[in-house]
Structure 1
Amino acid sequence: MSIFDSLKKKSAHVTDAGETYFEKTQEYYKLKIFQQVTISVSLVAKALIIGGLTAIGLLFLAFALALAIGNWLDSASLGYVTVGALFVLMAFILYLKRAVINGIIIKKLADKFFDA
């Protein structure tokens, strides 16, 4: 057996190993992308469902609170104005704290994506 035959066999073996590695790496990345897309779609779907139901619940609670305050003040319009002012105040506070909220969201998403 000559040196050239030995080198030819070794290079064929290395080439086969390289092709196998490339195929397995490609399969791994396809599965990883599928996992990340699935997690993302799941998060969005859950947020829409839970957020929608919460919004409907808050809407009914806001009307009930407005009616209660209106009965207490003997003026329905003052009840609605009071509840509207509370919502505007909450929105303003959330606007001021938006950086903190962004940090919390980024941390939660990073935990989901990089630990999964």
Structure 2
Amino acid sequence: MGIIEALDETSSKAVKTGEDYVQTTKHYFELKVFQQLAILTTSTCKLAVYGILSTLGLIFLAIAGAAALSTYFGSTALGYLCMGGIFFVLVGLVYLVRKKIEKSVIKKLSKNYFD
């Protein structure tokens, strides 16, 4: 009977250890999901605030720049047209460096995710 009791005790310990491992793993993944959601939420909120403020600043800067160019050229339409052209040039530059921007974003996300 000693061998059967020893096997029973060993298998009970193995089951208990397995259950503890599953519970610990479950808690770890719950915390990891919470961490990722917290990072995503805070990043989204910061991006929204920065985006709104930057957009407002850019609008005022564009209007002031267009007014200054209008005075310089002596034509309101030409000032606003030049300001629109400047924005299209900026969009073109961002388009040219889009791969570098994507790589930078992916590196940052992978650092946060696989940490």
- Same-fold call, TM > 0.5? yes
| Greater relative contact order, per chain length (Cα 8 Å cut-off, separation 6+) | 1
> Structure 2 stretches of 5 or more lacking a match?
none
Q: C-alpha root-mean-square deviation of aligned residues, in Å?
A: 1.1
**Distance across 2 between alignment mates of 1:80 and 1:58:** 14
Aligned residues: 115
Structure 2 Cα separation of the partners of residues 30 and 79 of structure 1: 56
1:1-54, Cα deviation, whole Å (9 max, x unpaired): 510011101111111111011111101100111101110111111111101110
TM-score normalised by length of structure 1: 0.93
The one-letter amino acid paired with 1:49 is V
Q: How far off its partner does 1:95 sit?
A: 1.2
Q: What is the TM-score when the length of structure 2 is the normalising length?
A: 0.94
Percent identity, aligned pairs only, is 37
- Structure 1: how far apart are the matches of 2:44 and 2:7? 55
Instruction: Indicate the larger mover: 89-98 or 106-115.
Output: 106-115
Partner of 1:5: 5
Structure 1 counterpart of 2:8, one-letter code: K
Structure 1 runs of 4+ aligned residues shifted over 3 Å read none
1:99 aligned partner: 99
Shift of the alpha carbon at 1:88?
A: 0.5
